[in-house]
Amino acid sequence: MTWSVTVQVSRDESGAHHVYAVSDGDNKDDSLAAVQFVKDNFVRGRLTAMRVEPEAESERDFDTKLTRHRGFVRFTFFDVPGECLPPKADFAPIPLSYA
């Protein structure tokens, strides 16, 4: 299993941490495992609003004949205990703001 992941984290004035992660892997399963690893390590019992569940796709470049396997996840978490809310859940109790 070989993968690499790029994680971008920003914090706003409400204390929300917005996380965006993209992975590259040897295959689709490795790419998915990479973004799942990010989710599991950032969320861990914190109040979290999932924007996009971990997902992966493979894309073939027909000019170079190379296949690229990429994973993706996006979520917002707070440094308070809580549950992980699924995408499209009612986020009303979570004070979200975007800078």
Comparing 88 with 82, which gets the higher pLDDT? 82
Structure tokens at 69: 């396997």
Vertex 22: Cα angle to 56 and 61 (nearest 5): 60
Q: Which pLDDT value is given to residue 66? A: 92
Whole-number percent of the chain with pLDDT over 70: 89
Q: Given a cut of 60, is residue 64 above it in pLDDT?
A: yes
Residue partners of 93: CB distance under 8 A and separation at least 6: none
Q: Given a cut of 50, is residue 99 above it in pLDDT?
A: no
Structure tokens at 20: 């965006």
90: pLDDT confidence band, cut at 50, 70 and 90?
Answer: low
85: pLDDT confidence band, cut at 50, 70 and 90?
Answer: confident
